[in-house]
Structure 1
Amino acid sequence: MKKLLHVAIFAVVLFLGIKQALEMGDSREWPTTQGQITSSRIIQVSERVSPKGDHSSYTPKYEVRLSYSYQVDGQPYSGKRLRIRSHAYSNEKHARRELANYPVGQQVEVHYNPEEPESSVLMLH
């Protein structure tokens, strides 16, 4: 039973990885529209350093989290993805440097999926 669970978890992770890779490739062809940052902040997350599960072996990481609004064909949408694949910084200073590019009210170029306009991203890499 444990082996079956591991195979199932591996299959899900593989599927999500392939889906993400395909979306990264497709997004290079997505059209763009103007949007506006509605919120931006840094959150601290933890990443396990040791595979042994020792709770003292977590190190802080920092992620830029933001929200933005945009319109496609007059229809309003909102998004939260900066990149297709999330990114965490080990240094808060680097996260703050990226955050400085996205102050609330900032106009941004939004890449959106023409087949699903609610799916969007700000950065393609």
Structure 2
Amino acid sequence: MNLPIQTNFLYSPKRFNRERSTIIYLERGKTEIYIEEILMCKGEGNYTFVHYKNGEKHLFSKTLKQFCELFEAYDFLRISRSVLINLKYLKAFNTVEELSVIMINEQKIDIARRRKAQFQDTIRKFSKK
């Protein structure tokens, strides 16, 4: 697939600190999530699938909005109504023609038109880090 890529962020295989984790409390207990291993979150109504960089995914009975609030201090960005991505695993993006991102697992995800300006702003800040 030949997309005109505006900017390319390559995945850096540096070691992440596994101590940066968060605990999500569910109705029947708690689940520990290592934030550095989350690739993206996809909302499905009142549930959210958390996709990890190793290909696994888990279903949580929390909304995507709750995950956005939980991960707001980290490098996550909501790019559409149902998708929250980890910017550290962003491989490439296109904001010229079809508004999309490509993650390190080669998955292409569309960016909502209304979130384009916020996406570009966040990418500028993120690339300066």
Normalising by the residue count of structure 1, what TM-score does the alignment of the two structures yield?
0.27
- The higher relative CO (CA closer than 8 Å, separation ≥ 6) is in 1
Q: Greater helix percent: which structure?
A: 1
